[in-house]
Amino acid sequence: MERKLSEYISLSQTIDITKSSKKIKVGILSSFTINGLGETLTVKCSESDIECKSYVAGYNQYNQEILDPKSKLYSFAPDITFLIIDIRTLLNKIFHHPYSISSLERKKIVKEKISELRNLILQFKKNCSSKLIISNFSLPSYSPSGLIETKSEFGFHDMISEINQELSRIAKDEPSVYVYNFNQFISKFGEKNIFDYRQFFIGDIKIAFDYIPYLANDLMGYVKPMLGLNKKCIVLDLDNTLWGGIVGEDEFDGIELGQSSNGKAFVEFQKHLLSLWQQGIILAINSKNNFEDAIKVIREHPDMVLKEEHFASLQINWNDKAQNLKVISEELNIGLGSIVYFDDDPVNQERIKQEIPEVLTVKLPEDPSQYTDILMSLNDFNVLQKTDEDLKRGKMYSQQRQRTELEQSTKSIDDFLKQLNIKVTIKKADKFTIPRISQLTLKTNQFNLTTKRYQEEDILKFSSDNNMIVGCAQIEDKFGDNGITNAFIIEKNDKEWKIDTFLLSCRIIGRGIEDAIISYILKEAKNQGIKKIRADFIPTKKNSPAEAFLPNCGFKKENEHWVYDLNNTIKSPNHLLLEVE
């Protein structure tokens, strides 16, 4: 349940935001009175441990704020800016009288409006490095032409749809610009609820007070991933969470799943979890049960939507649930702060909240028919960009579980590595791999020699420089595709190469992959008549896993740098296959 706007406003006066560990500056521009949104965002941010400072531009001042390079908005220097223009303001008198003009004229007006919006976006980008979130336009439920609106030649509603489509097209080409689907917001809560004529006539308020907190909730969906606060993993209880009843007592045939009304609620909930898994969210289980009882349901129940292959970790045992959650976090190498926990038992919910407050413990009601709605209202799974690797993440983590199981059942590490049938494919930087290479430099903390962070534009520049090599490697094995999980950047000089960046995603460390790739680089250099390769290790708080890498590969310390003399023989591991694309 969302709180009232008045509560947020009074809370915003009492909270101490300076204790928060993350900071963000939010700009708010709108074409109507939107008082209270800044206060609500401040409170919501503080609850996510973010210090939020907001600048709310004067009423209907958005044009001046964007077009004047010296505006207050730009001197405030926001990190993220929300621009909310309503359809009445945009269309002006045409909003009420769309049929006072011909369809050709309507088309012309739409073109003008689109070019106005495009200009605002481009001017904003020129003057400011902030991300820009621009809302699209709501389709009014009413049309003066009544039921034949849908038959009108480029009618009133077509105008708005066309503007929305164009707006999305513009944003697709601008990495820092996003369209907020305000039209969907209105459909979700209802035009009659959101637009209160009295508030509109008295104060030019176009979003009724009660709905400002819901709007703020949607906008938080952008703020969280900007600060790396998006969740990556959902940990689930089993009994009364994924199915009804207790399998240990009610037995395989006695649980509710599929046929009954409650059974359908659990199936629906599982379907939505699966769709999140397909978007790269990791799923895991934390349940007090006999392993055999529970796994039988997962493997054999005809109405289970989620199967064993969807879970990256299965903690089905009688251990303490908080302990299990910590095991999952370590096993998957993800922070506790990236986990959302679903458990129907209020006692368990309370226990996890107190023991591991970093985990987002969802307050589940007793009635399973509400589970799906609660899952869908979470704004914590958003990301601002998505690569192929992100989409495959859920699958890759469950394959990882199978690898670990093989490792535990194999006697020697060499046997294990041989059985994996690893294939390394070296790829050049191109338009398909550049976003991922940039993402790896931005996100990789552990196996990273220099921890240099590069945006897409940087990688693009390097890759077109003849004196540089930018590459990456895709790793596959018998359990599946790990995707592009290595990247390297090399500076070429006549006699010597310098490794600027060499990194490996932590989930593939320790399988000889790093050795194979470095030996590929060494051989390339040797073939081109180079005598020496220089590399650096810049220590950080997190990159100790890469510390011994250079000496282990045969690099020798010379002054402050690590140097490999290419007259030496180059070793490469023989348990894997390396291909160059």
Partner 1 sequence: MSEKLYNIISKIFSVPISEINDESSPETIESWDSFNGLILVDELEGNFNIKFSVSEIIDVKNVKDIKKHLSNHGVDLNG
| Residue 174 DSSP SS3 | coil
Name the segment binding partner 1 (CB under 8 A); options: 7-15, 63-71, 238-246, 364-372: 7-15
Nearer to partner 1, 202 or 376 (CB): 202
Name the segment binding partner 1 (CB under 8 A); options: 32-40, 97-105, 266-274, 359-367: 32-40
Burial class (CB in 10 A: 0-12, 13-18, 19+), 313: buried
Nearer to partner 1, 35 or 317 (CB): 35
User: What does the block give as tokens for 326?
Assistant: 């910590």
Compute the distance between CA of residue 306 and CA of residue 238 in angstroms, rounded to an integer.
11
The secondary structure element, H or E, covering residue 456 is: helix 456-463
Closest residue by Cα to residue 361 from 376, 373, 378: 378
Nearer to partner 1, 35 or 410 (CB): 35
Largest Cα–Cα separation, the chain: 83
Q: Up-side HSE of residue 47: CA atoms within 13 Å toward CB? A: 13
The residue assigned the tokens 């164009």 is 166
Nearer to partner 1, 35 or 446 (CB): 35
Nearer to partner 1, 205 or 284 (CB): 205
Query: CB 200 → partner 1: shortest distance, Å?
Result: 10
| Residue 329 DSSP SS3 | helix
Q: Up-side HSE of residue 250: CA atoms within 13 Å toward CB? A: 14
Name the segment binding partner 1 (CB under 8 A); options: 6-14, 118-126, 225-233, 327-335: 6-14
Q: 31, 134 in Cβ contact below 8 A? A: no
Name the segment binding partner 1 (CB under 8 A); options: 28-36, 511-519, 537-545, 569-577: 28-36
Query: CB 11 → partner 1: shortest distance, Å?
Result: 11
Interior CA angle at 403 toward 296 and 432, to 5°? Answer: 115
The mark string for 187-206 relative to partner 1 (x by CB under 8 A, - otherwise) is -----------xx-xxx-x-
Nearer to partner 1, 10 or 278 (CB): 10
Q: Is 5 in the site for partner 1 (CB under 8 A)?
A: yes
Q: Is 9 in the site for partner 1 (CB under 8 A)?
A: yes
Number of residues that bind partner 1 (CB under 8 A): 17
Compute the distance between CA of residue 174 and CA of residue 196 in angstroms, rounded to an integer.
35
Query: CB 198 → partner 1: shortest distance, Å?
Result: 5
27, 30, 36, 434: which one binds partner 1 (CB under 8 A): 36
Which positions from 208 through 237 interact with partner 1, judged by CB under 8 A? 209-210
Name the segment binding partner 1 (CB under 8 A); options: 30-38, 100-108, 138-146, 361-369: 30-38
The residue assigned the tokens 């289980």 is 285
Interior CA angle at 128 toward 122 and 129, to 5°? Answer: 105
Nearer to partner 1, 198 or 363 (CB): 198
Q: Is 4 in the site for partner 1 (CB under 8 A)?
A: yes
DSSP string of 370-401, one letter each residue: GHHHHHHH---S--S---HHHHHHHHHHHHHH
Query: CB 10 → partner 1: shortest distance, Å?
Result: 7
Nearer to partner 1, 205 or 255 (CB): 205
Nearer to partner 1, 48 or 199 (CB): 199
Name the segment binding partner 1 (CB under 8 A); options: 4-12, 355-363, 448-456, 471-479: 4-12
Angle between helix axes 212-226 and 37-47 (nearest 10 degrees) is: 50
11, 23, 25, 33: which one binds partner 1 (CB under 8 A): 33
Residue 236 has phi, psi (to 5 degrees) of -120, 140
Query: CB 255 → partner 1: shortest distance, Å?
Result: 42
Compute the distance between CA of residue 345 and CA of residue 363 in angstroms, rounded to an integer.
9
Query: CB 60 → partner 1: shortest distance, Å?
Result: 15
Residue 36 is given by DSSP the state T
Nearer to partner 1, 56 or 424 (CB): 56
Burial class (CB in 10 A: 0-12, 13-18, 19+), 474: buried
Residue 128 is given by DSSP the state -
Which positions from 131 through 160 interact with partner 1, judged by CB under 8 A? none
Name the segment binding partner 1 (CB under 8 A); options: 1-9, 75-83, 84-92, 430-438: 1-9
Nearer to partner 1, 203 or 254 (CB): 203
Closest residue by Cα to residue 383 from 180, 223, 505: 223
Closest residue by Cα to residue 537 from 448, 469, 471, 437: 448
Compute the distance between CA of residue 493 and CA of residue 495 in angstroms, rounded to an integer.
6
Q: Is 10 in the site for partner 1 (CB under 8 A)?
A: yes
List of residues contacting partner 1 (CB under 8 A): 4-6, 9-10, 13, 33, 35-36, 198-199, 201-203, 205, 209-210
